[in-house]
Structure 1
Amino acid sequence: MTPEETVRTYFDSWNAKDFDRLQQILADDVTFQGPLGQANGAQECRKGIEGLSAIVTDAKVRHRFVDGPDVLTWFELHTTQAPPLQTANWSHVVDGEVTRI
């Protein structure tokens, strides 16, 4: 999978709440650092996304920028708790796996 296809799978899986599929494209040692917290490892990242998904109704991708292994996704985060929020996600992909978010 290309980096763009990998990140597309990430968002498609998140929106479908298919966390098994989402975890398959996370590297075992993936790291997440962002305003919503930090996570280390595929299991911890999955747990964080699953928890967030309790209030997320949609992550509408508006645009995706690809520069080699780096993919920036601009999306609108829809939740049950607040108006839609414009959000950016930077992912680094190696060999079809997300290694950093």
Structure 2
Amino acid sequence: MAQPAPLDIATAFTKAWTSHDVEKAASYVADDVVFDGPMQQSTGKEPYLKGLTKLSEDVTGVRMIAAFGDDHQALLMYDLMTKSSGALSCAKHLTVSDGKIHSDKLTFDSKKLGSAKPRAN
């Protein structure tokens, strides 16, 4: 049976974690996932899911703006509704192989976050 397309994995993953089902979201994530975002950089499933769980607790909704993908990657743009910071416009690039997310690069305006800290270089 063929693996789902990266775009299908990316959208199912996003729907899961924004609906507070981090356990289901975790099923789409590779053990060696690399994350690069404004507030966190990590390697490995455990720290990635720890950050995702914290963010998920603040989410009240999501509105998908656009979603594109090919055989190896997906690019999502969405408005993330949060309790603490209101709406955050986000863009996320995910690479997928063997049905799992191996990298996640997230960008959004971190100045909108009340607890934003400067990114370490």
TM-score, length-normalised on structure 2? 0.78
Tell me the alpha carbon deviations over residues 44-101 of structure 1, each in whole angstroms, 9 at most, x when there is no partner: 1111010112212122211101133111100001111223121100000001100000
11, 21, 39: which one aligns with 2:42: 39
Residue number among 15, 24, 29 corresponding to 2:27 in the alignment = 24
Question: 1:41 deviation in Å?
Answer: 1.0
Aligned match of 1:52: 55
Which residues of structure 2 form unaligned runs of 5+? 105-121
Cα distance between partner residues in 1 of 2:49 and 2:78: 19
SS in 2 for 1:9: helix
Q: What is the CA–CA distance in structure 1 between the aligned matches of 2:53 and 2:82, rounded to whole Å?
A: 13
- Cα pair 1:23 1:43 within 8 Å, conserved: no
Number of equivalences: 101
1:3 pairs with one of 2, 6, 13:
6
Question: Which is worse superposed, 27-36 or 60-69?
Answer: 60-69
SS in 1 for 2:23: helix
Percentage identity across aligned positions?
28
* Structure that is richer in strand per residue: 1
SS for the counterpart of 1:36 is: coil
Deviation per residue, 1:14-51 (Å, 9 max, x gap) = 12211111111100000101112112111211110101
Deviant stretches of 4+, over 3 Å: none
Equivalent residues of 2:5, 2:70 under 8 A apart: no
The residue aligned with 2:68 is 65
